[in-house]
Amino acid sequence: MDVRKTLQDSRAWVQEQLKLSVEFWLKNGMDPKHGGVYTCLDRKGEIYSTDKSVWMQGRCGWMFAHLCHVYGVKDEWLAASKSCLDFMEKYCINRQAGDRMYFTVTEDGKPLRQRRYFYSEAFYALANAEYYGVTGERECLERARKAYDLYWSLSHGGEDPTGLGPKTIPETRSGRAFGLPMIILNVTGTMLRVDPERKEMYEQYAQQCVDEIFKYHVKPELKCVLENVDVDGTPRLYYTEGRTVNPGHDIEGSWFLLEQAQRTGDKELVKKAAQIFDWAIEAGWDKEYGGLLYFIDCLGKPPEAYEHDMKLWWPHNEILIASMMLYRDTGEEKYLEWFVKTLDYCKAHFADPEYGEWYGYLRRDGLPTMPSTKGSTFKGPFHLPRCLIMVDQMIGQILDK
């Protein structure tokens, strides 16, 4: 393999895909009337549902501000970010329930659904923090801090002001979810960058997240990271949810850990993150059709989720980020090979040269579900552009060495 040419060619394609993705969402997703972003878009970018995902308001707000952070401020990017921030502030916060946030709202901001989970707050904090980092608007920093602190409290036993109980009857079953420390670890990285006044606290919390992930969820004896475990981390292998492995989630978590390792200089953490990647890619890559399976069972039993053998866009985004990060940090060529293999799969199956953006959902054989979609309640301008921005930057770093 001609490494330099491979990297240069890959970077050129990534940059073009980023341009197409950003243009797709600016043209089709932004709501000029009510503010915020529509994300339920079909292949051509036409809206098929006007309901708005609160997660996506935060994620889109972050993405457009992050574009300004990385490539320099453009008025349309900053305006798109602010539109999402303003929409969230006006419509997406349940002021009667301790400023918990909704999960979905109507196009004009009427509340539709409140969930017990608090990822809306995480993405709201992420967006406001990134926007503050670009503009210096102190109010956005205060919003980010407040939402960050609320997430941390709720994820560590704080009382939920919505009054919504846990997912299962706690007297029968309670436990821990991998997503909780993983997501806040990522948000903490942004808070560390833009909010040095609370640096000591963020560093403490970041290390606590790492400790929780390895203490409770990483299972070397099973060669995986379990999504759901008992309160003390004991695997619960007697029912399907307790055996669930989401390879893409594990790979995403691996690069969150690699970012923490880079911040702290922790070489052992690099090795641990690499091991998580290796387990996940080996267990999750479809040997017959290619691409990463969505869910697998850690004991090889039937997964419960109907979509377990589908191929979704975001796990492949995470492979591209993590494999390039591991190649950059370890120099091991196997990670560059995984990057190239995954990029080739994405070119062949996810990318749409006719209308831009990537398909979100493929069947196991790699064909898009029909009718095909470019966005949904869960897919918007986030995973793909984040991936393309990061890969562009990392390849640049490697080529400049």
Q: Which domain holds residue 316?
A: 1-30+224-401
Strands 224-225 and 228-229: unpaired
Query: 297 phi and psi, to 5 degrees?
Result: -100, 130
Q: Is residue 255 within 8 Å of residue 273, measured between CB atoms?
A: yes
**338, part of any domain:** yes
Whether residue 302 contacts residue 321, with contact meaning beta carbons closer than 8 Å, is answered with no
pLDDT at residue 401, rounded to an integer: 84
Helix axes 383-399, 54-71, angle to 10 degrees: 20
DSSP state of 158: P
Contacts of 318 (CB under 8 A, 6+ apart): 248, 249, 251, 252, 255, 383, 387
Q: What is the pLDDT of residue 399?
A: 97
330 domain residue, yes or no: yes
- Helices and strands per DSSP (H, E), number in the chain: 12, 13
CA angle (366 as vertex; 389, 8 as ends), nearest 5: 35
Provide DSSP, 333-398.
HHHHHHHHHHHHHHHHHTB-TTT-SB-SEE-TTSPBPSS-BS--SS-SSSHHHHHHHHHHHHHHHH
Indicate the SS3 state at residue 230. Answer: coil
The torsion angles phi and psi of 112, rounded to 5 degrees, stand at -115, -50
Measured in residues, the chain has a length of 401
Instruction: For residue 343, give both structure tokens.
Output: 């990029």
**219-233 burial, b for 16+ CB within 10 Å, e for fewer?**
beebbbbbbbbeeeb
Residue 3 in any domain: the answer is yes
Helix (H, G, I), strand (E, B) or coil at 296: strand
Burial class from Cβ neighbours inside 10 Å (0-12, 13-18, 19+) for residue 46 reads exposed
CB 228 within 8 A of CB 182: no
Q: How far is CA 126 from CA 182, 306, 386, in A?
A: 14, 31, 13
Split into its structural domains, the chain has a count of 1
Contacts of 147 (CB under 8 A, 6+ apart): 99, 101, 121, 122, 124, 125, 128
Which tokens sit at 310? 């589908």
> One-letter amino acid identity for 355?
Y
Helix H or strand E segment including 52: strand 52-53
The answer to whether residue 260 sits within a structural domain is: yes
Q: What is the CATH number of the domain that holds 321?
A: 1.50.10.10
- What tokens were used for 146? 């407040």
What SS3 class is residue 31?
Answer: coil
Judge whether 8 lies within some domain: yes
Q: Where are the alpha helices (DSSP H) in 116-198?
A: 119-135, 138-154, 179-194
Asked whether residue 270 is assigned to any structural domain, the reply reads yes
Average pLDDT, 10 consecutive residues per value, the chain (401 residues): 96 98 98 98 98 98 98 98 98 97 98 97 98 98 98 96 90 95 98 98 98 98 98 97 98 98 98 98 98 98 96 98 98 98 98 97 97 97 98 97 84
Confidence at residue 181, expressed as pLDDT on a 0 to 100 scale: 98
Question: Is 66 within a domain?
Answer: no
CA-to-CA separations, 44 to 77, 311, 372, 386, in angstroms, rounded: 21, 21, 9, 21
Tell me how far CA of residue 267 lies from CA of 3, 189, 214, 272, 284, in angstroms: 25, 18, 16, 9, 26
The C-alpha R_g of the chain, in whole angstroms, comes to 20
pLDDT at 1: 82
Q: Is the peptide bond before 111 cis (omega within 30 degrees of 0)?
A: no
pTM for the predicted model, two decimal places: 0.98
Asked whether the beta carbons of 287 and 354 are under 8 A apart, the reply is no
Cα separation of 276 and 387, whole Å?
19
